[in-house]
């Protein structure tokens, strides 16, 4: 970070602008808007500066000298003479005065950002002086997104700040109250219509009746790439008090969770269950009953081999409110990033998802239905069962030459794809790092042709044997 973004209080502070042209006008207007006492030094002033009327503005017709800096809190060099601008910056540096040089940020000690003004909400955007045009484009996008009622909403919240502190003694309860006000939209809608008194009445009523109520959001985090999570998932992750996450959620995705949220790892790995499902269920109930907003963050989609249904049944039994946010399931995400279409008119007219291991005493797998030709079968959590998968598919009629792929750490930067034939599946699985998916079907033959993600093309198991030899 080349620059530390800060907001300075300029009210009645003496600020100096060197230059009298159109660029100087823009800087003067910003400083005056912030309440600064602005002095402009220039031998000549443009008409727009001459016509500015403000009690805090002084125009002094003279060329720059070091004495001009006397008593200034900050200075902006806005002349069209680089030598003069550089001298201003050097003199300011010696005196410990903040200096900005227009169009030459490397000369000064601070830069002026592009600003989105919803006072008292202010958003500053900077490119560190590298590309002001791009910073302005980002600002334009923010202008389009941020509603005009943000300013009135912030001012009204300021009115209620001390009331809220008095009636809600804990930081947590106060935060939950403000989230309810800001997220519900009723107050914002009234302010947007100019109904200030009605908005104030709603806030008063909700404050008197406020009691934090716990809820759970079952959220799919996708297969690994954090850019694949949904907008709603991101919003809930940013609002959560507690996040219970599993082993398949990437660290990059976890970094998007609100910083002060409590993170609880309830992950499970094949052959080693660090937290049993019953304990996870108990934690969900406990945190929700304490009045928390809980996010149960699951890799992929929570309703596809994620035990999401089992966890919701427990919440229903305890009368806890919940919602579900689907995610990109691992089969779809990993296959797409491996260049393997799950269906294709010439290769596969159907696709089946199946788990590599089942709950004890669960229904047995119908291998005959999985062994059909021209069908794509995706096995979740199947690495340890690869030999069994190969044998049962071939015993039920699947050709040993059927193309197969193992996608390890799919959609992540360290994704690895191995392709081969069904007869080679168990050998292919040796040494593969989970999480991994097994894809069986004719569509796998397209992987080499359609690969697009990452620098490494799919590894052919047969070719790797040749290379070893």
Binding annotation for S-adenosyl-L-methionine:
223, 299-301, 304, 329-330, 381, 410
Which is catalytic among the residues 268, 286, 388, 427?
268
390 annotated active-site: no
Q: Which residues contact 104 (CB under 8 A, 6 or more apart)?
A: 82, 85, 86
- In the annotated binding site for NAD(+), the residues are 22-23, 43-44
Calculate the CA 343 to chain-centre distance: 31
Q: Among 248, 240, 199, 197, which Cα is nearest to 217's?
A: 240
From CA 364, how far away is CA 311, in angstroms rounded? 23
* 3-state helix/strand/coil string of the chain: CCCCCCCCCCCCCEEEEECCCHHHHHHHHHHHHCCCEEEEEECCCCHHHHCCCCCCEEEEECCCCHHHHCCCCEEEECCCCHHHHHHHHHHHHHHCCEEEECCCHHHCCCCCCEEEEECCEEEEECCCCCCHHHHHHHHHHHHHHCCCCHHHHHHHHHHHHHHHHHHCCCHHHHHHHHHHHHHHCHHHHHHHCCCHHHHHHHHHHHHHHCCCCCEEEEEECECCCHHHCCHHHHHHHHHCCEEEECCCCCHHHHCCCCCCCEEEECCCECCECCCCHHHHHHHHHHHHHCCCEEEEEECECCCCCCCHHHHHHHHHHCCCEEEEECCCCHHHHHHHHCCCCCCECCCECEEEEEECCCCCCCCCCCHHHHCCCCEEEEEECCHHHHHHHHHHHHHCCCCCCCEEEEEECCCCCCCEEEEEEHHHHHHHCCCCCCCEEEEECHHHHHHHHHCCCCCCCCEEHHHHHHHHC
Q: How many CB atoms lie within 10 A of CB 447?
A: 23
Tokens of 140: 């334009």
Return binding residues.
22-23, 43-44, 223, 299-301, 304, 329-330, 381, 410
Active-site residue 241, yes or no?
no
Closest listed residue to residue 371, CA positions, set 397, 402, 351, 348: 397
Tell me which residue has tokens 């109520």.
Answer: 213
Of 241, 246, 390, 409, the active-site residue reads 246
Q: How far apart are CA 63 and CA 272, in angstroms?
A: 77
Active-site positions read 246, 268
């Amino acid at each position: 970070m080349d620059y530390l973004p800060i907001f300075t209080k300029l009210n009645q502070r003496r600020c100096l602008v060197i230059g009298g042209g159109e660029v100087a006008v823009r800087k003067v207007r910003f400083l005056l808007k912030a309440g600064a006492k602005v002095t402009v030094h220039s031998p000549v002033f443009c008409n727009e500066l001459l016509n500015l009327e403000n009690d805090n503005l002084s125009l002094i017709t003279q060329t720059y000298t070091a004495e001009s800096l006397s008593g200034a809190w900050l200075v902006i060099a806005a002349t069209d003479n680089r030598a003069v601008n550089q001298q201003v910056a050097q003199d300011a540096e010696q005196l410990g005065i903040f200096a900005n040089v227009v169009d030459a940020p490397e000369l000064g000690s601070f830069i002026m950002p592009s600003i989105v003004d919803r006072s008292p909400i202010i958003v500053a955007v900077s490119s560190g002086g590298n590309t002001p045009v791009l910073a302005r484009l980002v600002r334009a996008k923010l202008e389009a997104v941020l509603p005009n009622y943000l300013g009135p909403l912030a001012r009204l919240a300021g009115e209620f700040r001390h009331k809220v502190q008095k009636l809600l003694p804990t930081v947590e309860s106060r935060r939950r109250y403000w989230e309810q006000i800001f997220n519900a939209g009723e107050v914002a809608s009234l302010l947007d219509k100019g109904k200030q008194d009605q908005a104030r009445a709603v806030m008063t009523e909700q404050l008197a009746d406020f009691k934090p109520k716990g809820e759970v959001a079952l959220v799919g985090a996708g297969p690994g790439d954090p850019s694949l999570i949904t907008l709603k998932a991101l919003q809930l992750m940013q609002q959560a008090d507690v996040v219970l996450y599993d082993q398949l959620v990437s660290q990059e995705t976890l970094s998007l969770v609100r910083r002060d949220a409590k993170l609880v790892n309830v992950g499970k790995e094949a052959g080693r269950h660090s937290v049993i499902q019953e304990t996870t269920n108990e934690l969900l109930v406990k945190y929700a009953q304490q009045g928390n907003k809980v996010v149960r963050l699951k890799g992929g989609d929570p309703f596809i081999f994620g035990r999401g249904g089992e966890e919701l049944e427990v919440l229903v039994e305890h009368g806890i409110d919940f919602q579900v946010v689907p995610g990109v399931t691992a089969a779809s995400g990993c296959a797409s990033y491996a260049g393997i279409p799950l269906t294709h008119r010439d290769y596969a007219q159907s696709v089946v998802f199946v788990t590599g291991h089942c709950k004890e005493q669960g229904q047995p797998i119908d291998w005959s239905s999985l062994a059909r030709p021209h069908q794509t079968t995706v096995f979740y959590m199947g690495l340890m069962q690869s030999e069994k998968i190969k044998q049962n598919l071939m015993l039920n009629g699947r050709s040993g030459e059927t193309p197969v792929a193992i996608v390890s750490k799919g959609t992540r930067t360290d994704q690895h794809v191995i392709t081969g034939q069904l007869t080679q599946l168990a050998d292919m699985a040796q040494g593969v790092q989970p999480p991994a998916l097994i894809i069986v079907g004719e569509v796998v033959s397209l992987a080499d042709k359609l690969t697009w993600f990452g620098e490494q093309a799919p590894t052919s198991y047969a070719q790797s044997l040749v290379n070893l030899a």
